[in-house]
Amino acid sequence: MLITNIQRFSLHDGPGIRTTVFLKGCNLRCPWCANPENLSFQKEEYVKDGIKGIYGYEISGEELEKEILKDKIYYEDGGGVTFSGGEALLAFKELEPLLKKLKEDKINICVETALMVKNELLEIALNYVDLFIIDIKILDDSYSKEIIGGKVQLYKDNIDRVFKANKKFIFRIPLIKPYTCNEANLNEIYSLIQQYPPEKLEIFKVHRLAENKYKSLNKKMIEIQEEVTEQDMKKIKKDIEKFAINVDICKL
Ligand code: SF4
């Protein structure tokens, strides 16, 4: 497996204290992506402050298991491991033996996903994952294909499978104008979350903290054309809470 980082003591990637593993490679291209170093499926050279380095390193399932189990003592309050990315589900075939072992060790498993993946990968996840943290991005099919390169019907079919499998899931909405944060898209989102009520929903404003990572890869991060305001966030939270869904405004 190719990963870029193992982040310990993570508090924002699921319940409790978690070890978050960032898998390298994504099938989408959200222009606001905060993890540009995780998009390519290959190792990548970067230059930071004149010093060269490589994003990505190979790790075996056994080595990764050892790294995760080092933190087991901190998982008692409901914590565990979270697989993130990139699109973490794309690595689930290779990860399956490890997922099996983690389950035998009673480690709670979360995955952060955009859920636009083939059915066979989701099927593996449904066997092992305790909590899905699912992004909601653009729900108009042609706009989604144009902007992020993802098929909305595939996404909706996958949500339906997670829901029907009685799995716990949280929705997470990155708010950025005009892509995800516009009236038509928000209305689509409100319909979706009423059909598939999550454990809770998290909204966050897209930030520019990844700018240096883009620079290190000699890429440019998109300009934010119009800021999502605190007022916008409060209104969206209030609108969603009308459906009896808990909303957290997150600072990711
Ligand atoms: S799905 Fe996530 S990792 Fe992939 S491009 Fe979009 S924001 Fe980045």
User: Which domains are seen in the chain, by residue range?
Assistant: 2-250 (3.20.20.70)
Going by C-alpha positions, the residue among 122, 108, 13 that lies closest to residue 68 is: 108
CA-CA distance, 27 to 184, in Å (whole number)? 25
Q: What is the pLDDT of residues 96-111, one digit of tens each?
A: 999 999 999 999 999 9
By DSSP bridging, strand 57-58 and strand 247-250 are unpaired
What spacing in Å lies between the alpha carbon of 211 and ligand 1's midpoint? 15
| Site of tokens 């204290």 | 17
**Ligand 1 atom at shortest distance from the alpha carbon of 38:** 3
SS3 content of the chain, % helix, strand, coil (to 5): 40, 25, 35
Give the SS3 label for residue 45: strand
The pTM score is 0.96
Average pLDDT, the chain: 96
C-beta of 35 in contact with ligand 1 (< 6 A): yes
What spacing in Å lies between the alpha carbon of 135 and ligand 1's midpoint? 9
C-beta of 114 in contact with ligand 1 (< 6 A): yes
What spacing in Å lies between the alpha carbon of 86 and ligand 1's midpoint? 6
Q: Where are the alpha helices (DSSP H) in the chain?
A: 61-69, 92-104, 119-128, 141-147, 152-164, 183-195, 211-216, 230-241
Element housing 58 (H / E): strand 57-58
Q: What is the pLDDT of residues 2-51, one digit of tens each?
A: 999 999 999 999 999 999 999 999 999 999 999 999 999 999 999 999 99
